[in-house]
Amino acid sequence: MATFRDVVGQDQIKSHLKTAIKMKKVSHAYIISGERASGKEFISGIFAQTLQCEKGGEEPCGECHSCKQAMTKSHPDIKFITHEKPASIGVDDIREQISEDVAIKPYSGPYKIYIVSEAEKMTVQAQNAILKTLEEPPAYVVIMLLTTNSGSFLQTIRSRCVELTMKPVSAKMLKEYLMEELQIPDYKADVCVAFAQGNVGKAREMAMSDDFTAVQNATLNLVKSVRDMDLSEAVAGIKAMAEYKVDPSDYLDIISIWYRDVLLFKATGETDQLIFREELSTIRRVAQRSSYEGIEEVLEALKKARLRLSSNVNFDLTMELLLLTIQEKG
Ligand SMILES: [Zn+2]
């Protein structure tokens, strides 16, 4: 069972929430903003469980009836808002699950908690429906809006919420977590940490995924051998990569880490700080053959590729353009 102690990093949010519980000054509404997989659901779940725990401490006891219900996501007074359409949370979703529900007193716990994941998907009408509740909330109501983008909320919503922001976790803490809690070996932990950029969920996903090593190897192989390939071979390589179920920008992250290693090695000759240090012989070879300008151009091309993906340019085309630059300059 999880407690606040199990949240890696996020000291500020943890201390805010624990103090609120201790001082009995729990707000009616919170916005928790942070990247996908940064742990918003995890920390909100622990907060909700603690609020409902029969022992009434600053951490959930994990043993009372309420905690057991919370842990199996079957607590009648902790509600996770669902939505009909995948792309948006509509006014009907909010009306049925929050507006028309808040007047009913909690079934067993002291609070009635509504957790809205991906709250940036709320339409303006849905936000206005929530706003009505926030204007005169019953004493027992706590609404938690979890979002990747709090800027998408109406100002009137934001002004009624306590806003907490997930912070990137330090590399040291993230590595400790992977090695100690998940028993990930040193080298792999370093790669995951570099890749995750302070995002715990992303680091864990990578570390636990069977596909991870395969994706990493496929990407690196393509980058390493693209100079000796013609375009049709490179395209076949891209198609093969697209079969893994990972976020397309993950490939760009792996290539970025690779070229940062090449640049670091070229500039300093040091090997201790390299992420892909198990690939040292290839890093050395690439560092020798590539100029600083060439590496800079590849890093620029990676930035462009990110922009293209985020503006929905097709994955194959984006990767082809990137690999052409790598072929020429990398
Ligand atoms: Zn409990």
The per-residue pLDDT string of the chain (330 residues; one tens digit each, 9 = 90 and over) reads 899 999 999 999 999 999 999 999 999 999 999 999 999 999 999 999 999 999 999 999 999 999 999 999 999 999 999 998 999 999 999 999 999 999 999 999 899 999 999 999 999 999 999 999 999 999 999 999 999 999 999 999 999 999 999 999 999 999 999 999 999 999 889 989 988 889 999 999 889 887 778 888 888 888 888 888 887 888 888 878 777 777 788 888 889 999 999 999 999 999 988 999 889 999 999 999 999 999 999 999 999 999 999 898 888 889 889 989 998 887
How much distance in Å is there from the Cα of 68 to the middle of ligand 1? 7
Q: Is 118 left (phi over 0), alpha (psi -120 to 50) or beta?
A: left
Every domain range in the chain assigned CATH 3.40.50.300:
4-165
4-165, superfamily in CATH?
P-loop containing nucleotide triphosphate hydrolases (3.40.50.300)
Question: CB under 8 Å to 315, separation ≥6 — which residues?
Answer: 238, 242, 248, 309
* Pick from 53, 94, 92: nearest CA to 70: 53
Ion ligand 1 neighbours, Cβ < 5 Å: 53, 61, 64, 67
Regarding pTM above 0.85, the answer is no
Give the residue range(s) of CATH 1.20.272.10 domains in the chain. 209-329
C-alpha 33 – ligand 1 centre gap (Å): 27
Q: Tell me, in angstroms, the distance from the centre of ligand 1 to residue 64's CA.
A: 4
Pick the CATH number of 209-329 from 1.20.272.10, 3.40.50.300, 2.40.50.140, 3.40.50.1820: 1.20.272.10
Ligand 1 mean position, distance from CA 71 (Å): 10
